Amino acid sequence: MITDAIIANSPALLVMIPLIAAFACPFIGRISPAVRNIWVVGAMVLTAAMALLLAGEVFSSGTVVYTFGASAPGMSVPPDSGGIPVRIVFTVDAMSALMQIIGAITGLSIVLYSIAGDRRHTGLESYYTLYLLMIAGVMGMVSTGDLFNFFVFLEILSISSAGLIAYRIDRGVAVEAAVKYFVLSTIGAMVILVAIGIFYGEYDALNIAVIASRMQFTLLDQVALVLMIAALGMKCGAVPMHFWTPDAYSMAPSSITAMLVVASQASLYGLFRVVFTLYNVTLNAATVGWIIIVLGVLSMVVGVTMAIPQKDVKRLMAYHAISQTGYMLLGVGVGLAVLGNQSLLDAFGYVAMEGGIFHIINHAMYKGLLFLTAGAIFYRIGTRNLNRMGGLGHNMKYTMVFFVIGALAIAGIPPFNGFASKLMIYESVFMFNPILSIIAMVVSILTLASFVKVFHSIFMGPRLPEYADVKEAPAPMLIGMGILAAVVVLFGLFPGVVVDHLIEPAAQALVNQGAYISAVMGGA
Amino acid sequence: MRRYIVAAIFVILAASLLSIPISFSFGSPIATDMDDYFIEYGQVQTAANNIVTSVVFDYRGFDTLGESVVLFCGVVGVGLLFRRLMEGEEYEDE
Amino acid sequence: MLVFGTIPYLVIVALAVIGLATVALKRNLIKIFLGITIFESAINLFLVSLGYRDGAVAPIFTDAPSTEMVMATPQALTLTSIVIGVATTALLLSFAVLIWKHYGTVDTDKIRRLKE
Amino acid sequence: MKMSKIVRTGANILYPLVLIFGLYIVLHGHLTPGGGFQGGAVIATGVVLVIVANSYEAVTGMLQKVVFKAQESIGLLLFIGVAAIAITLGLPFFYNFLANSGSIFGLSVPFGPNHGDLNTAGLIPIMNIAVGIEVWGGLTVIILSMLSGLDRKEA
């Protein structure tokens, strides 16, 4: 009875659990820090369990539709409404479920990491409240099937992130980074709202499925598409709009930086959802596909070239994050460019999209891991400047191992997960356009070179006198990093299983617009 | 150089936004089916005379929860920014 | 009435461009935040004017005889958008206070310590 | 900084009226223009009026941030709580199970013009009250936080 209710309401509970935990967190935090930590970890474990439960449901029996406030969760279309959903509908298909798994795994490891890492700081109950709200924002963004609801969750995500980026208020630079991030993301969100208003004015609907089924691709729709791509591209840190990324990523606490990676991927999910589900074949797929490919290639090249001269380890990793976002855009963009052509899609389009989508989950894992190791190093030695580090491999062996795993994964070295997704991208993109594939490989080599340098300057060399008594990172931090590292290795060892069971349904769900529409509107 | 880029962006933006007045006509919306449903059935279904409230709290109640959460985020964020730091609490060295 | 049907949206476009121009061209943080607020207002106006029908009344049933009513959803969306705007503005102004505390100025040219 | 006696007395007289007006807007959200957000904002304006008329130091003892923070959390928990009751009844989140049920706030309303009854609309008035409590607390906390963040020597 209770399990039935939980399964039936899992899409709502996925957002409700972090929200309720966040609302109560200021109270709980007054009792004692230990109780608060248990509360936050418990809420996160429950959320992760709910995400896995829901994902199991989605991957076994197809898209889950949850209608808020209807007489039954599946009743998205009221019988007397003439076939239109009037309420807010959560539409969880394979792609959403994949993003929820990413959010759940990363969120859980980050929270384990932060209960050790931030013990000596003030304002922690606000910190965890905002952290839980960030989780709720990500989960809501990837689950919702309603454009305005998407905007609301986007704002929840940006406001909580902005507060957390400025967490280190004793330094002006952190506040400055937060201002930069927040001004840009507010404008981005407002631009998205203009696009939503345009859709509303044209079709009198806010549900993605309804708008998709009525899409005419008029002049207004083209304007809305441009606005959406620009705003969501900015939120995910693609290159012409990337300038907030290094500042925000380097100034936020490391655990928040790892979460910001997931947040930017939720925006990437939004971009894919708009392009594939909202427009699909009505748009000129080749043109828009090439726009996304160009964004991706620019991100790859500019990101990696900016990364190489950086002295601040987190700033360097932030530029690498931009560069890796380029791979996802490239893979999915190639899939979009051949969307209308079934034979090309079968030949390499699906593989390219699967590579791009696989890279999303891989990137969240290894980049989160790298930022967490950077945070552990900062926690122990108090600097992020590469020139002042050295010889830490003697004292922080586990951190070093985790860093090596993350660095090899980001550089695309087998047997780690970055290799699996990059190989899919190289192969399929080569059939589409060899030059793009070669650029991607060169960028990967540069990434490896950059991380070899970083590894050498942090861990190698003689034991420095000022770091002689540096200890290993505390155990909860290592557990948090260990979860991510284990996922990185597992995905790298068994890419076939992951691709078959998680990635391929997600790619199919993106391409198959008709299934999405009929899931909401009941085959209408 | 930067000024020219900004100016170019503005021209593009204004031009694209001008498609709104070209396509929409104030006072005569193009499609109205969802809102006709609200006006016709909202009063009976939710028993509220104010259709806007029935949309805000019933049909789109989840949005309203989201907007309260946004306000909560703002409040917690402002509280986090104006907190008092502990004695000797240091985050960075530079 | 093509002209009347166009003017409100033209005003909205003008407001939006003014707001964004303030954000892009001003150097004072407070003015930048004001620009964001103006842009938000333009969008709120846009949303609420989408639902207007000529000669219709507010969608609230009272003892007054029933006539045509304007669309209700845009008003709900605008309400949400306004509240989000309040939270945004509060956070932005807090940032401005903190920046002023650290640097003694809110001029973006003088406070830019982050590397480009 | 302290305002003149006239302003302070005026604010003290106006404050209860503002409070009652705000509560009216909150409670009648399902019948007249208004609702939880608007009413909560009106009440918070009343609090600001008191702060502006008296000096900040004089009101900090009376208006404690902790109380308003708790009020905000309670409002939100009430909101999500009443929305979640539906789950325990086997209905989806946010289902308005009180509307047209005959119990509290449960009277039915026929279609068309009528003069309205406070005892209608099911969960909507309860949610309005919850949101009103939340906005009242939230906006007050924002104002108090920002005031406490200012350097008192400058003011």
Domain spans of chain A, in order of start: 284-493
Q: Provide the pLDDT confidence category of residue A119 given band limits of 50, 70 and 90.
A: low
Mean pLDDT for chain C? 83
Complex ipTM, two decimals? 0.91
Q: Cβ distance C70 to C51 under 8 Å?
A: yes
Region A107-118: mean pLDDT is: 81
Q: Provide the pLDDT confidence category of residue A394 given band limits of 50, 70 and 90.
A: confident
Looking at residue D55, its amino acid is: S
In B, which residues are within 8 Å of C51 by CB distance?
29, 35
Chain A contact for C20 (CB, 8 A cutoff): yes
Looking at residue C110, its amino acid is: K
Q: How far is C59 from chain A (nearest CA, A)?
A: 17
Q: How far is CA C15 from each of CA A167, C30, C76, rounded to the nearest angstrom?
A: 34, 18, 22
In the predicted structure, residue A429 carries a pLDDT above the cut 50: yes
From B52, B66, B75, residue closest to C59, measured CB to CB: B52
Residue A464 CA to chain centroid, in angstroms?
Answer: 37
Label the pairing between strands A64-67 and A89-92. Answer: antiparallel
| CA dist., res. A208 & res. A5, Å (int) | 27
Helix or strand or coil: residue A66?
A: strand
- What is residue C116's predicted lDDT score, i.e. its pLDDT? 46
- What is residue C1's predicted lDDT score, i.e. its pLDDT? 45
Q: Which of residues 30-69 of B touch C (CB under 8 A)?
A: 32, 34-35, 38-39, 42-43, 49-52, 54-56, 60, 63-64, 66-68
- What is residue A150's predicted lDDT score, i.e. its pLDDT? 92
Q: Which domains does chain C have, with CATH numbers?
A: 2-110 (1.10.287.3510)
- DSSP string spanning A379-418? HHH---BGGG---GGGT-HHHHHHHHHHHHHHHT-TTSHH
Q: Provide the pLDDT confidence category of residue C34 given band limits of 50, 70 and 90.
A: very high
Neighbours of chain A (3+ CB pairs under 8 A): B, C, D
Kindly state whether residue B87 falls inside one of the protein's structural domains.
Answer: no
- What is residue A152's predicted lDDT score, i.e. its pLDDT? 92
What share of chain B has pLDDT > 70, as a percent? 88
Chain A contact for C35 (CB, 8 A cutoff): no
In the predicted structure, residue A122 carries a pLDDT above the cut 80: no
In C, which residues are within 8 Å of B20 by CB distance?
9, 12-13, 46
Kindly state whether residue B21 falls inside one of the protein's structural domains.
Answer: yes
User: Is A24 in contact with D95 (Cβ distance < 8 A)?
Assistant: no
When mean pLDDT is compared over A480-489, B7-16, C64-73, D50-59, the highest value belongs to A480-489
- What is residue B91's predicted lDDT score, i.e. its pLDDT? 54
Q: Provide the pLDDT confidence category of residue A347 given band limits of 50, 70 and 90.
A: confident
Kindly state whether residue B93 falls inside one of the protein's structural domains.
Answer: no
Angle among Cα D146, D148, D153 to the nearest 5 degrees reads 115
For residue D104, report the phi and psi dihedrals to the nearest 5 degrees. -60, 135
Domain ranges across chain D: 5-149
Region A169-189: mean pLDDT is: 86
Chain C contact for B17 (CB, 8 A cutoff): yes
A 10 A CB-CB count for A343 gives: 8
Peptide bond into A415 cis (omega under 30): yes
User: Is D113 in contact with C101 (Cβ distance < 8 A)?
Assistant: no
- Counted domains in chain B: 1
For residue A385, report the phi and psi dihedrals to the nearest 5 degrees. -80, 120
Neighbours of chain D (3+ CB pairs under 8 A): A, B, C
Kindly state whether residue B14 falls inside one of the protein's structural domains.
Answer: yes
For residue A54, report the phi and psi dihedrals to the nearest 5 degrees. -65, -40
For residue D112, report the phi and psi dihedrals to the nearest 5 degrees. 110, 180
